[in-house]
Structures are given as C-alpha cells and as structure tokens.
Structure 1
C-alpha cells in the first residue's frame, strides 16, 4: 500500500506540472533541469541496477558450474555457493534501489518546493520502471503437491484370539507378513506442509505357522480348525494373499526448504506419522506342509478358500523418520468366516516409502 501511494503521488505531481506549464497566467523561473527528465533518469537507473545484478549472477553461476563439471567442487558445495550468490545479489539490488528511491523522494520534495521547472518541452509522456527485488534462478521448477512412492513392508504376523496375542497357536517369529505397493502423497493445504493424504494400492501376504505339529482342516460344519498332523512336520504354513487400497492421513514434519532464495515444501525429510486403514479382497489362500517318511521328502500344497473371509478391512498406523517407519496393522474383520472363536490378523514390522 505504501508503494501504491508513493507512485500515485508521483503521477499526480506530473499531471499538475503539465497543467502548470499550460497555464499562461502562471510564471515561474526556469531552473537548470526539469522534473520529468530527473524522474526518467532515476527510473532508468533502477532498471539498469536489476539488469546488472542479474547478469553478474548468471556469469558467476556459470563459473561455478564449470568448477563442478571439472570436479573441483562437489554438488553440495556448488549449491551452497549458488545460494550465497543469489542472496548477495538480491541484497545488492535492494540496497542500490533504496538509494535511487531516496533520490526520487528528494526530487519530489524539490518539486513541491518549486525548485524544479514544471515540464520538459522535449518530452510529453514517460514510462516508469520499478522492478521487483526477487532474483529467480533459471533452474526453478513448479512445485508439485502430489508425489509418488513405492511401499515395501515386512515383519511379524499373528492372530488375536479372545482379544489377546499371548499364548498364540502360531509361532511368533516364523509367522510373518510381506507387503508391496504404490501410493500417492498429496499435501492437503497449499501453504502448509503438515497434513498429507496418502492413498494407493498394496498386495499383502499374511503367513501363519501353527505350533505343536498342527495344520488347518476345514470341517463339515464350515469351520476351520487346527488339528495334529499324523507325521512329524518340518514346516506347516498357511498363507493368505490380499489386494487392498490403503488410505492414511499423514503428518509430515519436514517443513520448508530454501532454493536460491525461494521457499518450497519438502516431504519424507523428517519425522512422519500416519494413521488410517485399508480395505480390499482376498486373492488366494494356500497351505504348505513339509514332512519326511523314511527317506522320502513329502511336499503338500493345498489351495482353497479354507472358510477365509473373501473381504478384508482394518486399521493401520506408522511412525518413522524419512522413508523408514515402524508399521502396525490390524484386521477389523475375522480371518475365518464361520468359526466359533473370532480370530483377527495383526502385523507389526518395518515399512519403507521410497520416493
């Protein structure tokens, strides 16, 4: 608002000076130099200051690029030098233009005091240039509010039975989960970096290894129970594969980053916390059993639905730094559809979100 009033004052004074010159009843002395010519001179100086500083910045940046290409400095050192140059040139423009603005202010005061003549007979109109103080780098790019990530997660997997994981029917470390997928990460607010919406798709593999030489058997009443296998099992494993669509509200504390005097937002550069859920459907179920009879190694792989729910939905959360997080997910629906005892899948592990 101050600049608008300042420029408007200059314009009004110019108009008054022209009217004053056109009125034959008004007589004034003829000073040595006109107001209009002085204003034009100052305006030109301000324009030239910006051109000079930008040209000098370009030359010095090109010199830094040559040093980088010749291996004399690292990329980080080159970026630091460019940043310092950009700040210096911006300060130079600000300081030099401030001097010319002070000269213009004094000129207006002289005009008010009548020390400068009303008009210059050789000029009838003028263009004023008051350029912005911001120095932009040619490598600046339009900032994107949405980024993409490849997600990879793995860890321990088990079942919550009667609201507890303790005394489980499944080995804690041999039972595991694996997940991979792709997500989009969108900053919710244009000028604030804390809240992000994270969405996409994932393929989940949930494995369970029963204890005490047992395996899953589907009974005639459509219930799936654990029973003891007649031979000594080397390995017994039950796997369910799901295709799901996860959705999380992510709190990203990365903040802003500075690039040659300009500010932009960073993602996955600091502490992150996500909370949300997922929903999808079961792709397949499979049970594997490995055992020996005398010298024969027997491998049995059985595919079927095992009375497992066709659909899956649950809640999940993660907390970490940069791309690495501690990851927890819990199925709100039961693993088996008709079992008398409710059992819900739970997973805890490490998650990576690679930009």
Structure 2
C-alpha cells in the first residue's frame, strides 16, 4: 500500500519505481505513446508467419500424374519437330537443300519419338486414336490430336522424298504442308498447359505459348547448326540469336506475370534447370555467331548447346508446374489477391464495403 501523502510542501513519502501508475506503468504524454508503440512493435514481431496448409497436409489441387520423361520429352520433341519443319520449308525455298534435308529427317525422328512418349503416357495406342473420334475446337488436347494426325504423315512424306529423291513434287507439297503446321505443333502444348488449373502454368498463360514458340525455334536453329552444312548455316545462326533473345524475354515476363505462382521457376530443380538453359542458350548463340560460320565443329557444338537449352527449358517448366500444384500456397494466395481485387470499392481506395480488405477465404475455399 502506498504511503505517499499530500502536504502543504508537496507530495511526501514517494518511493520512485515502486508506485502504481496509470496505463500499466506508462506515463502520459509522448513518452507513454512511444513506449506503447514500442511494446506493440515487439508484440507484432512475436507473431509467427502464416503457413499455408490444407486438410491433412494434402495438396489443394490434384497433382498431375505425369512422368517428366514422357510429357516434358513430348513437349520438347514436338517443338523441335514443328519448328524444324518450318525452317526446312524456308531452307528449301531459299536454295539450301542440305539444311532442308537435315531438318526434314530430324523433324520426322523428333515427331516419332514425341508420339511414342505420348502413347507411353496414355498407356495404350488406342487411347490416342479414340481422341480422334471427335473434334472439339475449344479443347487444346483435341486440337493437338488432330494437328498431330495431319502433321505426322506430311513430315514423313517430306523426309522420305528428301532421303530417296523420289516424287520430288509430292515431297515439296508435303514439306510446305508440314512447314505450315509446324508453328501450331510447336506451341499447342503451351496452350494445353496454360488451360489447366496448375498455378505455375495457369498464372502465366499469356506468355507460356510464346515461351514454347521461342524455345522451339531455338531447338530447330540448333539442329540446323548441328546437322546442316556449314556453308548454309547463316540463316540458322541469325534465327538462333533472335529465338534466344525472345525466349529469355518471354521467360522473364512469364515469371513476373505469374506473381506468387512464379516462385517455383526460381527455386529448386526448376530454378537450376532454367539457369542451365539460359547459360547454354547464351553460349550456343555466341559460339554460333562468332565461330559457327568458320568451323564445322564450332557450329555443331553451338547447335548441340542450343538444343540442350531448349530441352532444359521444357523440363524446368514441367517441374515448376508440378511443384506449384503440390504446395497449397500457390493456389491460395492468387485466389486471395483476386478476391481482394474484386472487393475494392469504385472509389479505388483499396477497401471493401466494410472498410477492410474484404473477406479472405481459407485453404478449404480453394478445394
């Protein structure tokens, strides 16, 4: 109990530090406010960072049951084949028969292996044939199946004519047909991935087809340098430089536009693969530009680096998508941000109808 008393001379019997004070020991005025702010700051630091989990620790989305060897390989080989056929048609029309022949043969081999990978993933060849029973323009898978059905025979006829020298007119027609379908073959898998609910693929859906187009052109230019004559590789070197630059820009734009869902592209296995792809692409382009026109060996090594860079890009994109599907935060965070954006008042002050940020769903709302 306090023994302080008020006398004519003032307050007596005061024991500093032992008297009860108002406000839990905080003095009134600026000193008290500063002390209260410091205490609140310390309390905020003690709050643990929120962790995004789902019921029983299971992913919010069903993770695609795809094998990287099958699906990522299928996407890479399809891109190499499609872009290779387009470059083969351009080489034939510009009087470069050696490059055209090499690209026709490599495109046939790539699309054959791509089809094998797809059928292996489907389990039975009949499942691919069943996809041709209907034509659905709004389905990337249906469109892709019909594209493969038309492109494969054209690429086969073009390669057979180039290898044997028989039926040159039919071979030219098939070359032009395969070259016309080539861009769609190279990019439709990007549209297919972007059409899924996998966060790393869907959040970057605007840029993903462009990434696939540039990556396919990089691989085709690399194949032209690797398998074509040195005296005819001038256009291939220029295509390699343009495609590499476009691929790096499109990748950067995709990762940025994906927001939180773009994080898997920078970490773990996908991050390492993309770093490797960038280095190989830059080295291959520089080697082709500096030495590809003077040395057959330099052209071949540069071409191999470009092909490997394209493959690393496709596998990185595949693994980033799988990683984003396994972690619930890449599904929950974009949904919360979209919900907050739709709850903003017309005045644009960032507040919901109740003056806050609007309701925020839990992980169960994303299921």
Report TM bin, short chain: under 0.3
The structure carrying a bigger strand percent of its residues is: 1
Superposition TM-score, scaled by structure 2 size = 0.22
Asked which structure has the greater RCO (Cα within 8 Å, sep 6+), the reply is 2
Higher-helix-fraction structure = 2
TM, length-normalised to structure 1: 0.22
Q: Which has the larger radius of gyration?
A: 1
